[in-house]
Structure 1
Amino acid sequence: MDNTSPDRERPSWAPKLLRRFAGLAILLLALSLFANKIADTDIWWHLRTGRYIIENHVIPRVDMYSYTAGGNRWIDLHWLFQVIVYATFNALGSYGLSLLFISVFVFSFLLLRSACLPQRNYLAAIILFALAIMAASGRFLARPEAFTFLMIAAYMAILCRYERGGANRLVYLLIPLQILWTNMQGLFIIGPFLISAYILDRGIRRFVSGPESRESEKRSKGFRTLLVVLIGSLFACLINPYGFSGLAFPLTLFTRVGGMQNVFAASIAEFQPPFSGYNLTGSIRWFGVFMVISALAVAADYRNIKISHVVIFLGLGYLALNARRNIPLFVLATLPLSVEHAGNLVVRLGDSKGGKSALWVKRLELTGCAALILLIPFQICRVVNGRYYVSDRRAERFGFGFKEQLFPRGAFVFIKENGIHGPLFNNMDIGGMFIYEMYPMEKVFIDARLEVNSAEHLVEYRRVTADPVAFRRLALKHGFNAAVIAHTSQDALYLMPVLYFSPDWALVYLDPIAAVFVRTVPENEVIIRSDRIDIGRRQVPLIAPDDTLNDSGPIFLRAFLDAITPSATTDSEAHNWFNLGLVYLVMGQNARAAEHMKSGLKLMPFSSEAEYNLGLAYDRMGEKGMALQHYGKAIVLNARHARAHANIGRIYDERGLKREAEQEYNLALRYGGENPIVLYNLGALSYERGEYETAREWWQRALKEDSAFQPAIEALKKLN
């Protein structure tokens, strides 16, 4: 006889096992993305400032690193972060630094998991967690914002529990947390914003429920508690070395992001809108998926909608859509809310038709878990073997410590050993390492500190990297004695031939990462005579010297982490081939450029950018068939490669294949945004067909992008 109630099913081990394996798969995916080699260039000025604070027991208030912005007020609200990272680096080396950031990311998602409890539906939760991890993966970097991620997660964990009737005392912990946040990263104002969203919700619900109701009394108490916490957190924001100026600092960040017309957004990739057309990475696509699913879940679960959720969704969604660096802020803050609303929908679906849909919902959950278990390992493999980062044109790779052969330490060692003095010119990307290696002996021309650099200085920098005459004037203005530029940076790369072919400059150092030029003046005569490089004759060393950035810290820690992480040993060597190939390409040494690109592709055959550059080398040598072949390979590896589409269109155009050319030009615009050359070519095709008004529209669009674009100006004159 069966005494078991038919309403109570005995749990099977299979569903539990599937859920656990699905959760384990997501955990491994997260860890693989958290463990990436440090490639962010800003880490160097943070480390140098942390050292300065510890050694001098003072927090900087004016810029001391730069000769162009020296003496400018510097509101360094990263100071606590800088002390933490330098102390970690000093004690445990670069591998310890990696472990610090991995720990921060792990704790952030653990806190978010607690914010999602209790879960209404496991499948909805793990799918949204997987999407959130992928969407935020573009910003799992060694930067101060990592601690902002941790704080957002902590705030959401506490506020979500408080909203559900728990954490009544824990909510006061937000005040000391706000003090820490204020002194670690400039986006600390998000803390009071999150609290305000929940206060607004409590206040409106209290008003709607009526003053006499018991529910209103309960909400009134919660409202007063949150109001006290908000006031306390605002006062906590004032506990910083700069007082009210520090409190107002987030406005500086918010006014310098968003929109392609903003000079900061145009100069710094992370400030560009995610869907502007610039480098639409995998993480941005995942962000789009996460945002759409979250929005649909919130809208469809309108019965349980809360004003706090709408405010958080709209406020942080606006920031995320204005600047790609803000994507994780939205993802982390809305993840618990999305899980709640998606779970409500799934439960409601299971309860529909008198509960008859529950079995189908359970089957869907198990099928979803099985699918995640099967699919996630493929993504982990792409992360570990580097394909995930290569496809997004990112420098990070799976592993620990600093990314090898990325930072131009050899160039700075050469400058110091040979007594080359300033003023020195440098490109922006290496400004952080310049500060770390050269301060206080020399001061930097430019770096990426928004707190210090003015819009005018950035405009001037962008102009001189594109205009040889402007660079010559700037060199006379500041009296540059030398220039150190990393040709791994596009803006600096185009300065290479300008300096190399100028009689005023001599190339005295070159490795796969950077170059050093000195002025051809008598005081530099000795080094010019002994070290001047003829790029057409001298074989450039393939490996940059003195790459010892990962040599510090406990040996056992490095040995252990190296032993448990597989590494792509050919990665750095391949990039060195590619980097030198680019140098030869801009110098007009197309045959040598092609040789270097082919050598690199043997080691890394899945680089679309290298295939494109190889095609460009053949293109410039007049071998159009080979150029088409490699442009085509670049598109196979990355269908959104706008420049490859544009160049294929140009070759088709030259061969008289007008329809095919037009198709490629349109693809170039779709994937790369408004490009004056492509717009002009489309106008020329329309003109050839006698479609003069259409041609006029194309050429006017070209001039809208570049008002000085001469071919479009001449074409419009001819048309008129």
Structure 2
Amino acid sequence: MARSRCDGASEPPAPNVPILRPDWAALAGVVLFFSAGVIQKIWAHDIWWQLRTGAWIVENLRWPAGDFLSYTARGNEWIEVRWVYCVLCYLAWRGGGLALLILGHAAVLAAAFAVLVLPFRRVALTTVGCAVIGLGVFAALPRLVARPEAASYLFTAIFLVVLDGTFLRCAADGRRSRLLWLLPLFQTCWANTHTMFMIGPVLTWLAAGCAGLIWLLRATRRGRSETTHDPTARAVAELALAALLVSAACWLNPYGHRGAMFPLLLLSEIREGHVFSGSIVEFLGPFSPDVRWTLDTWAAAVFMGVAALLFVMNRRRFSLFRAAVLVAFLYLAIEAGRNQTLFALALTWTALANLAEIRGPGECGRPARTRPARLRTEGREPRTGGPAARTSRDAASKGGAMTPMYWRRIVASAAVALPALLGAWYMASDRYALHYHWPRRFGLGATAESVPDGAVDFLRRERPQGNLLHSMNDGAYFTWAAHDLYPVCIDGRLEVYGETPFTDFMSITQGQWRRYVEAHGVNTIVVEREYFEPFIPDVAAAKDWALVYLDPRDAIFVRDIPPHAELIRRSRIDFAAGWQPAAMEDERPTGWRRWFGSVERPWRHVGLGRGLVALGAPALALSPLDTAAARFPRSAEVWQSRADALRKLGQLERAAADYARAAELDPRDPAPLFSQAATYEAQGNHDAAVRTFRRLLERHGPTTHRLLALGVSLSAIGDVRQAEQTYEQALRMDPAFAEAAFNLGTLAAARQDWATALRHYRRVLDVRPEFQSAARNVVACMVNLGKQAEAAELLEKLLSEGRGNAGELRDLLRQLRGG
């Protein structure tokens, strides 16, 4: 029965509205997808030195000013503008361990997206809005982890929302926003939390500049008389004043001007050509030749297209500020891959804002335009309410029945929810991380393969002599877990170390490890296999160093000195004496992870196997690698690692078969194909090597070393013309590639074309004067051309300039004159 209103009119009966909105399924899917992406175990190594910094500040009640964690940068200026973040991390760890630390970061990241969504909540809670948010989360995935950038993401969201609301009011009628005056306070917090705080002043000045430009355009249209009392001018002035206050807030840090200018130092480090940008992967841009796009990078590119389309669709309400912000963040994302998450946040914000304005006036804070009276009298129902009102109308149109429109909305919501749920499962089961060989894992705690716990336990138990040589990753953990035992040689605070110590450290992997250990008094080397694998054989072969510890991740060598005599006697690992590795834990998922469909990689067995191969014990490596192959038959790295061991043992046929299987299991990785071709070459099967190298080039494209290897195989089968063309292609890619020029000279000399050979060998000496074989061949070519005097003159010039091996050059000169 209809209820009566007090004016005598009766209300229609309430429709039988469904309790569950269709859009809730899409929203639930996006929330689960976001949760699976942010609840990740600690794998970023910088968190450890940040925890140590926070603990030091709490214990000493002051800020660090000079380095005290290392022996290579001791006393160097240390500007730690992230001190609030470090303290909060330490307090969270002390209150609830790594679990609370991870959940705290997840809450901050969720707050960043919530702030972006809040002004557009009506459209954000629709199916289309959920799809936009889900795409934004996907594009932001790379940095949605426990890192200090989480604070910058939250503050960036706050600035975008507040400035956008202020800008819209300014552009419309000059109305002011009280929230604008909170930005200096937020900026003060930001300047003491993360190094990207310069984004705050940039965004504020950008809003002031865009608003000023709009006011100027209006002034030129209306004339001076109409703009004298324009309220927009006052709003522009207030934005400019806010920008000044926000900029001044950057100096409210413990380091004053040095702290305020600190982000400019970091910006210079990620620019192309800097030693840091060339060595740290996250500093590389997405268009760098060494960067392979992942699905989240493609999602960001697709999202950029969607955002641009929404700008076009909303062109009548085009926002200059939003467009300028998007361009600025696009530039940052192109400069360095680490900025992709910032770009994704900007894309989410602009897409939701434009979508809300396309949907109708008043959806995002922009004042609604008054419709002409004739539109309101043509029988058109005015737009009222949000998604809930549409649900009510859908159900009420047929007396409470679920209409076809309602079912269409359910289908649309399911089309968003199902991919989001699948993505959440793909993330939470760690399949996405393993697909790209990332160390990320879903859950709480720290990933076992990223933490050198075993090495730290050994160091604490045996106390070998310092100093330590270790990787950057291990150094970060040592600052936290072994800071009371040893200073480190390097960690993630690159701005503290500077270019010279960093370049000195990087020379270790180029065969300069002995110079480094002698210069810095290193008596213990902690070798992280994945980082130091190329120079492990050199250390293992050194007579004055002894291997005393080995696990799937690290090996420890100590110098053979009297203080280490007892340690070496007790702990030395001698493979010839029948040393056997201890039993290792099975890496296959158990418990809930097993029924959930989670996956894992056999990092313990593979790590130990690869370490044994590098240490010169491939026979011992086969045992853990065979176990891994039995448990993980679909793992490409298992078969590739086993093939490396078989190749070291001289079992080339079995090695080639394992390389082929690894290439089949992971066609995205070029390494197995290259190794397979090189194995064929070692067998003397040059035809198979050529075919495999060509398949490698077809799948993965040419590089200088791939072309060089193909050229060698082509020469072996007598196809000299193709070999020369291959070497020339390599030189076009890198004119300083000495090996290709040398091989071209060798081919020319083989057909006694001494002039051509001389030209190529001279090219080698121009870029690599220490290439002694090229110097000998230059002399031989000159002698064959009757240019003995010119050859002697060249050798004397190389000697006077100190280029090349002086002893060998003198021998060549003596032989030439003696002849």
Structure-2 separation of matches of 1:609 and 1:136: 28
Does 2:534 align with 1:481?
no
Q: Deviations over 1:581-626 (max 9, x none)?
A: 2212323433443442343355555544334333444455555665
2:727/2:741 contact within 8 Å kept: no
In structure 2, give the amino acid aligned to 1:314: V
Contact 1:683–1:699 (8 Å) recurs in 2: no
Q: Does 2:739 align with 1:710?
A: yes
Per-residue deviation, 1:180: 0.8
Cα distance in 2 for partners of 1:527, 1:201 equals: 69
1:297 equivalent to 2:310? Answer yes
Contact 1:175/1:229 (8 A) holds in 2: yes
> Which residue number corresponds to residue 450 of structure 1?
494
Identity %: 26
Q: Secondary structure at the match of 1:395?
A: coil
Q: Does residue 1:136 correspond to 2:167, yes or no? A: no
Any idea what SS the aligned residue of 1:104 has?
helix
Q: Deviations over 1:212-248 (max 9, x none)?
A: 5579924323212211211111111000111111111
Three-state SS of the structure 1 residue aligned to 2:230 is helix
Q: Distance in 2 between matches of 1:11 and 1:222?
A: 46
Structure 1 residues 663 and 689: CA distance shift in structure 2, 3 A:
farther
- How many residue pairs match? The answer is 677
Alignment pair present for 1:319 and 2:361: no
The CA deviation at 1:161 is: 2.8
CA distance 1:215–1:395, change in 2 (3 Å): farther
Matched residues in 2 for 1:568 and 1:425: separation? 41
Report the CA distance shift for 1:637/1:160 in structure 2 as closer, same or farther (over 3 A).
Answer: farther
* Paired position in structure 1 for 2:207: 198
2:244 maps to 1:231: yes
1:564–1:621 Cα change, 3 Å = closer
Task: Write the deviation string for residues 328-352 of structure 1: whole angstroms up to 9, x where unpaired.
Answer: 111112311123335666889xxxx
State the AA in 2 paired with 1:656. D
SS at match of 1:158: helix
CA separation of 1:650 and 1:484: change in aligned 2, threshold 3 A: closer
Distance 1:117 1:486 in 2: 48
Q: What SS does the aligned partner of 1:715 have? A: helix
Contact 1:385 / 1:567 at 8 angstroms: preserved in 2? no
| Separation (CA, whole Å) in 1 of partners of 2:251 and 2:490 | 30
SS of 1:134's equivalent in the other structure is helix
Tell me the equivalent position of 2:760: none
Q: Does structure 1 residue 267 correspond to structure 2 residue 275?
A: no
1:698 maps to what in 2? 729
Question: Structure 1 residues 83-92 or 369-378, which shifts more?
Answer: 369-378
Runs of 5+ consecutive residues of structure 1 not aligned to the other structure: 1-9, 349-354, 545-561
Match of 1:175 among 184, 190, 198: 184
Cα distance in 2 between the residues matched to 1:529 and 1:415: 16
Native 8 Å contact 2:120 2:356 kept in 1: no
618-627 or 56-65, which moves further after superposition? Answer: 618-627
Match of 2:469 in 1: 425
How far does residue 368 in structure 1 lie from its aligned partner after superposition? 4.1
2:261 counterpart of 1:248: yes
Q: How does 1:77-476 map to 2 (within 5 A)?
A: 77-119=81-123, 122-165=126-169, 168-210=177-219, 217-259=230-272, 261-276=273-288, 277-299=290-312, 301-342=314-355, 367-467=411-511, 470-476=512-518
Which digits, 9 at most, give the CA deviation of each residue in 1:73-103, with x for residues without a partner? Answer: 1111111101000011011111111111111
**Could you say if the C-alpha distance between residues 385 and 188 of structure 1 is closer, same or farther in structure 2, counting changes exceeding 3 Å?**
same
CA distance in 1, matches of 2:720, 2:582: 52
Partner of 1:597: 625
Query: In the TM superposition, what is the alpha-carbon distance from 1:282 to its structure 2 partner?
Result: 3.0
Q: After alignment, is 245-254 or 493-502 more displaced?
A: 493-502
Q: Which segment is superposed worse, 447-456 or 236-245? A: 447-456
Instruction: Give 1:558's aligned residue.
Output: none
Kept in 1, the 8 Å contact 2:720–2:747? The answer is no
Is the 8 Å Cα contact of residues 683 and 698 (structure 1) preserved in structure 2? no
What are the Cα deviations for residues 349-397 of structure 1, in whole angstroms up to 9, with x where unaligned? xxxxxx9xx9999998755432222222222222222111111111111
Shift of the alpha carbon at 1:145? 0.8
TM-score by length of 1: 0.85
Query: Which shifted more, 474-483 or 451-460?
Result: 451-460
Counterpart amino acid of residue 538 in structure 1: W
Alignment-mate amino acid for residue 377 of structure 1: L
CA shift, 1:322, in A, is: 1.8
Aligned residue in 2 for 1:527: 567
Residue identity in the other structure for 1:399: G
Compute the RMSD of aligned alpha carbons: 3.5
Q: 1:573 to 1:270 in 2, by over 3 A?
A: closer
- The aligned amino acid for 1:663 is R
1:23 paired residue number: 27
- Deviation string for 1:267-315 (max 9, x for gaps)? 2221122343335333223223223333343356444332222221222
Go from structure 1 to structure 2 and tell me whether the alpha carbon gap of 1:461 and 1:280 turns closer, same or farther (over 3 Å shift): farther
118-127 or 532-541, which deviates more: 118-127
Deviations 1:117-156 (A, max 9, x none): 4538934422221122112111122211111111112222
Distance in 2, matches of 1:637 and 1:380, equals 24
**Does the residue aligned with 1:518 lie in a helix, a strand or coil?**
strand
| Secondary structure at 2:200 match in 1 | helix
Question: What amino acid is aligned across from residue 257 of structure 2 in structure 1?
Answer: F
Residue 465 of structure 1 aligns to a residue whose secondary structure is helix
Q: Is 1:664 aligned with 2:696?
A: yes
1:256 CA drift (Å): 1.1
The one-letter code of the counterpart of 1:480 is: V
- 8 Å Cα contact 1:104/1:147 also seen in 2: yes
Contact preservation (8 Å) 1:578, 1:597: yes
Distance apart, 1:659 and its partner CA: 5.2
Please tell me whether the aligned partners of residues 547 and 558 of structure 2 are also in contact (alpha carbons under 8 angstroms).
Answer: yes
TM-score by structure 2 length?
Answer: 0.76
Structure with the greater alpha carbon radius of gyration: 2
- Could you tell me whether the CA contact under 8 Å between 1:346 and 1:361 is conserved in 2? no
Q: Residues 230 and 423 from structure 1, CA distance in 2 versus in 1: closer, same or farther, beyond 3 angstroms? A: same
User: 2 CA distance for matches of 1:663 and 1:698?
Assistant: 17
Structure 2 CA distance for aligned equivalents of residues 507 and 416 of structure 1: 17
Change (3 A) 1:52 1:711: same
Distance in 1 between the 2:561 and 2:52 partners? 32
Displacement of 1:660 in angstroms is 5.5
What corresponds to 1:610 in structure 2? 638
- Aligned twin of 2:797: none
Q: How does 1:469-548 map to 2 (within 5 A)?
A: 470-487=512-529, 489=530, 491-535=531-575, 537-543=578-584
SS at match of 2:131: helix
Deviation larger for 29-38 or 371-380: 371-380
**Cα distance change on mapping 1:565 and 1:173 into 2, 3 Å:** farther
Asked if the contact 2:187–2:200 (Cα under 8 Å) also holds between the matched residues in 1, the reply is yes
CA shift, 1:424, in A, is 1.4
**Residue 610 of structure 2 corresponds to which residue in structure 1?**
582
For 1:263 and 1:55, the matched residues in 2 are separated by 35
Equivalent residue, structure 1, for 2:770: none
* Secondary structure at 2:510 match in 1: coil
Residue identity opposite 2:567 in structure 1: I
1:26–1:572 CA distance, 2 compared to 1 (3 A)? closer
8 Å contact 2:712–2:723 — kept in the other structure?
A: no
Give ranges in structure 2 of 5+ residues lacking alignment: 1-13, 170-174, 362-379, 381-389, 395-403, 749-755, 757-819
